[in-house]
Amino acid sequence: MKNIDSYTHLRGESLFVDDMMIRQDALFGLCFDSPKAHGKITKVDYSKAAALEGVERIFTYKDILGENQIGGIIPDEPLWAEDEVHFWGQPIAFIVATSEAIAKKARALIEIEIEELHVITTAKEAKEKGSFINAPRSFNLGNTSDTFKNCDYVFEGETFSNGQEHLYLETQGCYVEPKENGNIKITSSTQGPTQVQKTAAKVLGIPMHRIEVDVIRLGGGFGGKEDQATPWAVMAAVAVQHLNKPVKYMLNRHDDLRMTGKRHPYSSFFKIGLTKDLKIQGFEVEFLQNSGAAADLSPAIAERTLFHATNSYFIPNVKTTVYSCKTNLPPNTAFRGFGGPQGMFVIESAIAAAADNMGIDKATIQEANLLVENDEFSYGQIATEVQATKAWETAKEKFNLEALQKEVSDYNTQNYQTKKGISVMPIAFGISFTNTPMNHARALIHIYQDGSVGVSTGAVEMGQSVNTKMLQVAQDILGISADLVKLESTNTTRVANTSPSAASSTADLNGKAVEMACNNLIKRLQKVASTLLSKNIESITFQEGAVFIDGYKTALTWEAVIAQAMLERVALTENAHYATPIIHFDKTKEKGHPFAYHVYGTAITTITLDCLRGTYEIDAVDIVHDFGKSMNLGIDIGQVEGALAQGIGWMTMEEIAYDTDGRLLSNALSTYKVPDVFSAAKKVAVVPLETEGNPMAIKKSKAVGEPPLMYGIGSYFAIQHAVKAFNKNHKLQFNAPFTPEKVLMSLYEK
């Protein structure tokens, strides 16, 4: 089954928000944002801008009829700044004009005076000054302080992992139209249509049913449109409410880079204790999350960091604490992995530090501590259907790890100017929104009277091919060909109260709802067919567009059954609701069973380092991945490859830089390097791990969106290995991304 969008994508015919036919009287919006990171607004003069020919109106917080509040988890973020600004790029006003060019000209004419206040850009400084988003959280298991006393080895260290720009190819944007009676239709490039609807209703001061949000598809989201697609749509909606004319707002790349939050940078402090048999007995971490100037999704992301602090290892004594530190950066937000990668980088760093100090191979410690059946995570969930050892062993055998390790060490004894490095990176990623109440979805299925089918769900297509998977589920259960099934846009009037498409869970949640709805329809159709054929209901199945009796095809077609169902006035529409069973979590105890299941895997990364230049090439990434029973291996391998590239980018080259005044320096693709074809791994092998699959995964095909990003962490340690092979004096640092500049400094450190 090919991705159903591939044909129109290839021909440039797929529609995105920016391709929509807009009304003749449509206007164009543009955000005016803060030119300082922190301060009091003492004066803003819009008069010159407002007087410009073609400027319809400039909106500020004073024009808000509801609440000037867009914070989702904590109400701490205004749509437009009032008297103070807290980050460079914070929205202050919204210019609406007859063209984008005029709005841009007008923006340059706005005069603003800001009395500057002290700017905090790092989590460490925020912690020192007591600047936090909320109270810290801790997950604990066993007793670490007693444990360390009994350990043969105890090591401490510090790590830093930088942020990451989402760089969705399609920037943020929306098109908003007035309908009758003050109703509004928003077309948005969002992962969370309900979040847009709910926030717009709150800011406009109208009930949710007056607002319809429609999503065609996204040109990439990666978490950047889970929460942060909302403000632009709401700004345009405020303008539409006042002007009663359509408003379109597509951000240009510079504005998008400057105004939106990114992956959270983390500074972390660890302490790891091991016994002689290489068992990790105790692990403590303090995570400092650089949350930015408002909460956004930071508390949920911090929580997922704690959930992944021990990666795929069992550690009996764990003490982890996360502080969401309030700084003067744009509010950092969801990004593929959602705090999990940041947590996993720290345990991998701790193991690397231990191995280096003990003079042994990192992989030896990793292998000795892999999670096994019935081990307990620090949050109380008991690990079941654990694939950690199987994935590790399979990778070790399939890719001949010992031979690879020997090749690397032989190469390094024979070569001086170039060195090779190797690392093994196991992963264990929890599937479900960590916030239990968000784990639900609905599907609405129409069978039209000619037998064709329309499927609506809460899933947003953002290039991950979720629509193809939804189609596969429907066609499989209804037993009809793919061309009879159409995936509709994601629309809040058809499927309401949706959770965002996020947490790798979209296909599971929405797919299960599609499955339920289709099964209900089939039950009704079995009855119709049973009467037509005078056979009992149990013997009837639907396959290949026909009715089968006891597994034998009859002449009765799908279309004929539907026609008969119409005559008998049988309901051909079905709506189903799915909520993940079993999961629960008690925040007062920080214990529970938050995940439906975990996804496992192991990656072996080999690199070659040029010790004169500090540049490196990734020779190969060899992966064994736990897909469960993949329902579409082409799509799923695509997800692994894309996530891997994104993970390697985060760990090696993507360097977000703010100056001490809080201004984004890496504000264009000339100063922010993302992986391209030249930096991609020369060889990527993805071998599916043979497993039973989990019944909570859709068709036993496990969630695949986020877990493989963390294979990219292996690239950091492979480079570190090569650096150490060249310079024995190198004192390990855990400061990602490991850019060629940092590598060069490490190579010649005395």
Active site residues: 706
Residue 191, contacted partner among ligand LUZ, ligand MOS, none, CB below 5-8 A by kind: ligand MOS
Q: Which residues contact 162 (CB under 8 A, 6 or more apart)?
A: 265, 650, 654, 655, 656, 736, 737
- Our CB check for ligand LUZ shows the closer of 185 and 469 to be 469
- The answer to whether 338 contacts ligand LUZ (rule: CB under 6 A) is yes
Minimum distance between the CB of residue 330 and ligand MOS, rounded to whole angstroms? 16
> What residue ranges bind ligand MOS (CB under 6 A)?
191, 223, 226, 334-336, 338, 502-503
d(CA 434, CA 305): 11
| Dihedral sign of CA atoms 213, 218, 223, 229 in order | negative
d(CA 325, CA 291): 5
Minimum distance between the CB of residue 191 and ligand MOS, rounded to whole angstroms? 5
- The answer to whether 300 contacts ligand LUZ (rule: CB under 6 A) is yes
- Our CB check for ligand MOS shows the closer of 194 and 605 to be 194
- The answer to whether 379 contacts ligand LUZ (rule: CB under 6 A) is no
Per-residue three-class SS string for 432-473: CCCCHHHCEEEEEEEECCCCCEEEEECCCCCCCCHHHHHHHH
- The answer to whether 27 contacts ligand LUZ (rule: CB under 6 A) is no
How far, in whole angstroms, is CA 466 from its chain's centroid? 14
Q: How far is CA 502 from CA 76, 433, 498, 506, 748, in A?
A: 23, 8, 11, 6, 43
- Our CB check for ligand LUZ shows the closer of 273 and 708 to be 708
Token pair 């977000």: residue? 656
SS3 content of the chain, % helix, strand, coil (to 5): 35, 25, 40
Minimum distance between the CB of residue 223 and ligand LUZ, rounded to whole angstroms? 6
Token pair 């100090």: residue? 357
Q: How far is CA 309 from CA 33, 212, 296, 379, in A?
A: 37, 40, 22, 11
Minimum distance between the CB of residue 297 and ligand MOS, rounded to whole angstroms? 8
Minimum distance between the CB of residue 430 and ligand LUZ, rounded to whole angstroms? 9
The residue from 502, 604, 645, 704 that contacts ligand LUZ (CB under 6 A) is 502
Minimum distance between the CB of residue 364 and ligand MOS, rounded to whole angstroms? 33
Q: Which residues contact 375 (CB under 8 A, 6 or more apart)?
A: 314, 382, 383, 386
- Our CB check for ligand LUZ shows the closer of 473 and 502 to be 502
Q: Which residues contact 223 (CB under 8 A, 6 or more apart)?
A: 166, 191, 263, 333, 334, 335, 336, 338, 502
Q: Which of residues 173-232 bind ligand LUZ (CB under 6 A)?
A: 223, 226
- The length of the chain is 750
d(CA 622, CA 213): 42
- Our CB check for ligand LUZ shows the closer of 216 and 502 to be 502
- Our CB check for ligand LUZ shows the closer of 299 and 330 to be 299
Residue 506, contacted partner among ligand MOS, ligand LUZ, none, CB below 5-8 A by kind: none
| Contact region with ligand LUZ (CB under 6 A), list: 182-190, 297-305, 675-683, 723-731 | 297-305
- Our CB check for ligand LUZ shows the closer of 226 and 590 to be 226
Q: Alpha-carbon Rg of the chain, whole angstroms?
A: 27
DSSP letters along 280-327, please?
EEEEEEEEEEEEESS-TTHHHHHHHHHHTTTTTB--SEEEEEEEEEE-
Minimum distance between the CB of residue 710 and ligand LUZ, rounded to whole angstroms? 12
The residue from 304, 396, 420, 730 that contacts ligand LUZ (CB under 6 A) is 304
- The answer to whether 726 contacts ligand LUZ (rule: CB under 6 A) is no
| Dihedral sign of CA atoms 403, 601, 282, 716 in order | positive
Per-residue three-class SS string for 525-546: HHHHHHHHHCCCHHHEEEECCE
Minimum distance between the CB of residue 335 and ligand MOS, rounded to whole angstroms? 5
Residue 434, contacted partner among ligand LUZ, ligand MOS, none, CB below 5-8 A by kind: ligand LUZ
User: In this structure, what are the phi and psi dihedrals at residue 284, rounded to the nearest 5 degrees?
Assistant: -125, 140
Site string for ligand LUZ, 413-442 (x = CB under 6 A): --------------------xxx-------
Pair of tokens at residue 510: 């929405």
Minimum distance between the CB of residue 433 and ligand LUZ, rounded to whole angstroms? 4
Residue 300, contacted partner among ligand LUZ, ligand MOS, none, CB below 5-8 A by kind: ligand LUZ
Side by side, the strands of the sheet bearing 184-188 are 55-59, 91-97, 27-33, 247-250, 173-178, 184-188, 211-215, 490-491
- The answer to whether 264 contacts ligand LUZ (rule: CB under 6 A) is no
Residue 324, contacted partner among ligand LUZ, ligand MOS, none, CB below 5-8 A by kind: none
- Our CB check for ligand MOS shows the closer of 332 and 630 to be 332
- Our CB check for ligand LUZ shows the closer of 338 and 600 to be 338
- The answer to whether 503 contacts ligand LUZ (rule: CB under 6 A) is yes
Per-residue three-class SS string for 191-255: CCHHHHHHHHHHHHCCCHHHEEEEECCCCCCCCCCCCCCHHHHHHHHHHHHHHCCCEEEECCHHH
Residue 304, contacted partner among ligand LUZ, ligand MOS, none, CB below 5-8 A by kind: ligand LUZ
Token pair 């259907």: residue? 385
- Our CB check for ligand LUZ shows the closer of 55 and 297 to be 297
d(CA 725, CA 484): 59
- Our CB check for ligand MOS shows the closer of 80 and 307 to be 307
The 10 Å Cβ neighbour count of residue 727 is: 16
Residue 335, contacted partner among ligand LUZ, ligand MOS, none, CB below 5-8 A by kind: ligand MOS
- Our CB check for ligand LUZ shows the closer of 93 and 428 to be 428
How far, in whole angstroms, is CA 724 from its chain's centroid? 33
Minimum distance between the CB of residue 147 and ligand MOS, rounded to whole angstroms? 33
Residue 604, contacted partner among ligand MOS, ligand LUZ, none, CB below 5-8 A by kind: none
Minimum distance between the CB of residue 507 and ligand LUZ, rounded to whole angstroms? 14
User: In this structure, what are the phi and psi dihedrals at residue 2, rounded to the nearest 5 degrees?
Assistant: -80, 155
Side by side, the strands of the sheet bearing 546-549 are 540-543, 546-549, 552-557
Judge residue 472's burial from the number of C-beta atoms within 10 Å of its C-beta, 0-12 exposed, 13-18 middle, 19 or more buried.
buried
Q: What is the DSSP letter of 495?
A: S
Minimum distance between the CB of residue 336 and ligand MOS, rounded to whole angstroms? 5
The residue from 334, 388, 462, 611 that contacts ligand LUZ (CB under 6 A) is 334
Minimum distance between the CB of residue 189 and ligand MOS, rounded to whole angstroms? 13
Residue 433, contacted partner among ligand MOS, ligand LUZ, none, CB below 5-8 A by kind: ligand LUZ
How far, in whole angstroms, is CA 687 from its chain's centroid? 23
Count of residues of this chain found to bind ligand LUZ when the rule CB under 6 A is applied: 12
Asked whether the beta carbons of 639 and 336 are under 8 A apart, the reply is no
Residue nearest to ligand MOS (CB): 223
- Our CB check for ligand LUZ shows the closer of 367 and 636 to be 636
d(CA 15, CA 35): 34
Return residues touching ligand LUZ (CB under 6 A): 223, 226, 297, 300, 304, 334, 338, 433-435, 502-503
